[in-house]
Chain A
Amino acid sequence: MTLPMPPAVLEVVNAAVRFGEVRALDGVSLSIHPGECIGLVGHNGAGKSTIVSVINGGLSPQQGEVFSDGTRLAPYGIGVARSRGVRCVFQELSLCPNLSIIENTRIMHRNLGGFGWRKRAAAIILASIDAIFPDHGIDVGGPVGTLSIAQRQMVEIAMAFSDAGQPPRLVILDEPTSSLDAGLAAQLLAHVRRFVANGGAVILISHMLTEILETASRIVVMKDGKIVAERGAGGFDHASLVEAMGSAATHQTAARRAPAANQPVLELTLPKGQPFRACKGEVVGLAGLGGHGQTRLLLALFDRHSPQWWPIRNPAVTFVAGDRRENGIFDLWSILKNMTAASLGDLSRRGFVQDKAEIDRGDEWKVRIDIRTPDMNNPILSLSGGNQQKVLFARALSTRAPVVLMDDPMRGVDVGTKHEVYGMIRAEAEAGRTFVWYSTEMEEMQLCDRVYVFREGAIVAELTGDAISEHNILRASFEGEAA
């Protein structure tokens, strides 16, 4: 480095993180200098949260080094990061809800102990909240559990900026404004600017691109675990930033059918935004940023159309879970049992499962979906992740349900399997099945006949045919502030 720059508060060099088959970070280098506000943007799964975890010491990369003030920090961990003044506000709320705000302050600041710490903690956190959000009206003696989501977020932000003898030097804000209203968000961003002007450093992650454009002094765009663009604040405008986040997509020319003027098989009116509907033989995509109401819609659809108390003979909907370890597979069961779990009613007579029918069904689908196993009686965990997912697809497709709901089912599945499954979904749709498909991957949305884009729990756009493009989806996802 030849420029007379102050040494970086924190510098990550060539960090790589791999979770199984997925490369979360692929050789990322990032340095943060005092007096800088870095805006970090990227689509879901671009690696933003991973790099944040590396910076705050919560995750040690398989490869790469961390420097601070010109010295290499090894080993690097949460304790070291905090002693260097690295603070983080996480996307999911991370206070202890059973403790009061004062007690949470005590947890955050390890060196606050000793007699009379309650008074000191109260003063510290109150000063910080007052500085960032004047007129907040929060009682710092009360438990966190009774605060509203916005108030919790405010407390958490104030906690990160609070100073108990060890001043914050680098504050990472991961979606800090997601639950704040416009006024509070403006107060926060004003504070970020003041903090940066006084020599602090901030990493700001936000899906509100205007916030990034207005606040950041440097903008870093991530995609697929890599930094794909890095420019000064003036180097981007709204459109070029959206452009940079997207890929130079290899456009899939999937056989997409014109939406037939069919009778809808599924309808649901959402509390706000456009209503949802899906027709027979249609593949409907749910797009938008993660956690904006897509999974909730799927669950609502499932609840609406599945029996509440008594089993029924003809199921109306079936579900493919994306989080297969959490709510997809039965860990201890065989592949066959996992596959037939949803259609035991069809395979049994007088309440007893017919072994022969079950085995035949298993063998049929083993061939059809190409489950790579020598024996369907092997335990499900003997399969690779992609093949486990195929079993889940087989479980759903082998039912007689005319509607298949899919909750980001391709998470962590390799490319080959994906394309096999895409073909099957297409074929089943041709045969008259309806698919409702939530995915965070753009490529998959382009396989759909129709796509609903979600934002803040509501459908904000409906795209059909050729209008389904990464560009349009991203634009609709960020529409709120583009206007």
Chain B
Amino acid sequence: MRISTDTLRLAVPVASLLLLLAGVFYLQPRAMSYNGLNLLFNLAVPIALATVAQMLIMAVNDLDLSMGTFVSFVACVAATYLHDAPLLGALILLAAIATYAALGVIIYLRNLPSIVVTLGMSFVWAGLAVLILPVPGGTAPEWARAVMISKPPLVPMAIIASALIAVFAHLLIMRSSLGVLIRGVGGNQRSVQRAGWSIIAARASAYALAACFAVAAGICLVGLTTGADANIALRYTLLSIAGVILGGGEFTGGRISPIGAVIGALTLTLAGSFLSFLRISPDWQIGAQGAILIMVLALRLLLNRLESKGGKP
């Protein structure tokens, strides 16, 4: 029997995660413990959520360059309003989600390039974040803090949270009707339109869902760090895009994989730790991280080529 293409796509991120994990355990056997794993992966949870958010945008053939600043903005709101005046905080976050939905509609109706619109919006979010929290500080809401430092038996919180995110995103995006519709818009918008669906509604929901995941990412991040700062999550923009691609997604055509995206986020987080364990100086780490990314993507490309060869009888 031939392995299905989806399984093959998932194989690369899983294999690279396991390889990196093996490398980390070899260098630092003490990481092979409850606490060690939690420490390795807990910063991956907000990144995984942001990656799923980015994946939703990419599912409709767009790209969100404001992901990092938006998560930072959410983190600032969470560390201030959500802690001091929960109702107001929740309203602000809801308004932010509504803004995202509106962006999706505007991008479609005016036929604007999403990267330009979101790049513009990234300055808006960054500005708002600085206004809310001019200096690093704030306090995490107790419940967010409690969730993030909880210690469930046997398996560390970071692993459980990642698995939950993956399963939930998979059900939502790969199994539900709404998910099919969103991916359909990415695959062939005209055919979805011809079937009588509203593209506006589909795009608005994709963007709104993405914003929901990004909000969750921001709150998780504050729960972990206990405070926030206006630049706290700037690298999330590129990390989330890399995570989606690493996890088997494509920039166009609605080909995405939520489980792959979460694994991609974990892999990227792990790559950082791996390099630290290798005692590579921080000056070189970003470059080395890029090298790892290129290697994994080259592997993907190779497999894609095999796949397209195998696809044609």
Measured in the bound complex, the distance between the Cα atoms of B5 and A107 in whole Å is 22
Measured in the bound complex, the distance between the Cα atoms of B184 and A106 in whole Å is 10
> Which A residue sits closest to B175, measured CB to CB?
A118
- In the complex, whether B313 has a CB less than 8 A from a CB of chain A is yes
Measured in the bound complex, the distance between the Cα atoms of B313 and A148 in whole Å is 9
* Contact status of A146 and B5, CB under 8 A, knowing A98-B186, A98-B187, A107-B191: yes
| Contact assessment for A99 and B183 in the assembled complex, using a CB-CB cutoff below 8 Å | yes
> Which A residue sits closest to B6, measured CB to CB?
A143
- In the complex, whether B281 has a CB less than 8 A from a CB of chain A is no
* Contact status of A96 and B254, CB under 8 A, knowing A56-B194, A103-B180: yes
* Most interface-central of B5, B191, B193 (chain A CB within 10 A): B191
Q: Contacts of B145 on A, CB cut-off 8 Å?
A: none
- In the complex, whether A244 has a CB less than 8 A from a CB of chain B is no
Shortest B191–chain A CB gap in Å is: 4
- In the complex, whether A97 has a CB less than 8 A from a CB of chain B is yes
| Contact assessment for A94 and B191 in the assembled complex, using a CB-CB cutoff below 8 Å | yes
Question: Per-position contact with B for A158-197: 1 when CB-CB < 8 Å, else 0?
Answer: 0000000000000000000000000000000000000000
Q: Contacts of B253 on A, CB cut-off 8 Å?
A: 97-98
* Contact status of A99 and B313, CB under 8 A, knowing A79-B196, A82-B195: no
Q: Contacts of A108 on B, CB cut-off 8 Å?
A: 195
| Contact assessment for A94 and B177 in the assembled complex, using a CB-CB cutoff below 8 Å | no
From A56, A94, A146, give the contact of B188 (CB < 8 A). A94
| Contact assessment for B254 and A82 in the assembled complex, using a CB-CB cutoff below 8 Å | no
> Which A residue sits closest to B307, measured CB to CB?
A146
Shortest A319–chain B CB gap in Å is: 27
Q: Contacts of A264 on B, CB cut-off 8 Å?
A: none
User: Count of chain A residues with Cβ under 8 Å from any Cβ of B?
Assistant: 27
From A110, A142, A143, give the contact of B196 (CB < 8 A). A110
Shortest B183–chain A CB gap in Å is: 6
Q: Contacts of B244 on A, CB cut-off 8 Å?
A: none
Measured in the bound complex, the distance between the Cα atoms of B255 and A96 in whole Å is 10
- In the complex, whether A234 has a CB less than 8 A from a CB of chain B is no
- In the complex, whether B153 has a CB less than 8 A from a CB of chain A is no
Measured in the bound complex, the distance between the Cα atoms of B186 and A148 in whole Å is 21
Measured in the bound complex, the distance between the Cα atoms of B174 and A103 in whole Å is 10
- In the complex, whether A204 has a CB less than 8 A from a CB of chain B is no
| Contact assessment for A96 and B193 in the assembled complex, using a CB-CB cutoff below 8 Å | no
- In the complex, whether A58 has a CB less than 8 A from a CB of chain B is yes
Q: Contacts of B195 on A, CB cut-off 8 Å?
A: 78, 82, 107-110
From B4, B175, B184, give the contact of A107 (CB < 8 A). B184
Measured in the bound complex, the distance between the Cα atoms of B184 and A109 in whole Å is 13
* Contact status of A117 and B188, CB under 8 A, knowing A82-B196, A96-B183, A146-B5: no
Measured in the bound complex, the distance between the Cα atoms of B196 and A88 in whole Å is 12
| Contact assessment for B180 and A107 in the assembled complex, using a CB-CB cutoff below 8 Å | yes
* Contact status of A96 and B184, CB under 8 A, knowing A146-B5, A148-B313: yes
| Contact assessment for A98 and B183 in the assembled complex, using a CB-CB cutoff below 8 Å | yes
Measured in the bound complex, the distance between the Cα atoms of B296 and A191 in whole Å is 50
Measured in the bound complex, the distance between the Cα atoms of B311 and A142 in whole Å is 12
- In the complex, whether A95 has a CB less than 8 A from a CB of chain B is yes
Q: Contacts of A113 on B, CB cut-off 8 Å?
A: 177
Shortest A160–chain B CB gap in Å is: 11
| Contact assessment for B192 and A107 in the assembled complex, using a CB-CB cutoff below 8 Å | yes
| Contact assessment for A95 and B194 in the assembled complex, using a CB-CB cutoff below 8 Å | no
Q: Contacts of A94 on B, CB cut-off 8 Å?
A: 188, 190-191, 194
Measured in the bound complex, the distance between the Cα atoms of B186 and A95 in whole Å is 12
| Contact assessment for A106 and B177 in the assembled complex, using a CB-CB cutoff below 8 Å | yes
Shortest A169–chain B CB gap in Å is: 16
Measured in the bound complex, the distance between the Cα atoms of B198 and A78 in whole Å is 11
Tell me the chain B residues, 162-193 only, with Cβ under 8 Å from chain A.
175, 177, 180-181, 183-184, 186-188, 190-193
* Contact status of A106 and B196, CB under 8 A, knowing A96-B187, A98-B255: no
Q: Contacts of A106 on B, CB cut-off 8 Å?
A: 177, 180
Measured in the bound complex, the distance between the Cα atoms of B187 and A115 in whole Å is 24
Tell me the chain A residues, 108-165 only, with Cβ under 8 Å from chain B.
108-110, 113, 117-118, 142-143, 146, 148
Shortest A261–chain B CB gap in Å is: 44
Shortest B158–chain A CB gap in Å is: 31
Tell me the chain B residues, 188-213 only, with Cβ under 8 Å from chain A.
188, 190-197
| Contact assessment for A58 and B194 in the assembled complex, using a CB-CB cutoff below 8 Å | yes
Q: Contacts of A96 on B, CB cut-off 8 Å?
A: 183-184, 186-188, 191-192, 254
* Most interface-central of B177, B193, B197, B311 (chain A CB within 10 A): B177
Shortest B55–chain A CB gap in Å is: 13
Q: Contacts of B177 on A, CB cut-off 8 Å?
A: 106, 113, 117
Shortest B252–chain A CB gap in Å is: 10
Shortest A114–chain B CB gap in Å is: 8
- What would 11 more interface pairs be, CB under 8 Å, given A79-B196, A109-B195, A143-B5? A58-B194, A78-B196, A82-B195, A88-B194, A94-B194, A95-B191, A96-B183, A103-B180, A103-B184, A107-B191, A110-B195
The interface of chain A, by Cβ under 8 A from chain B, is 56, 58, 78-79, 82, 88, 90, 94-99, 103-104, 106-110, 113, 117-118, 142-143, 146, 148
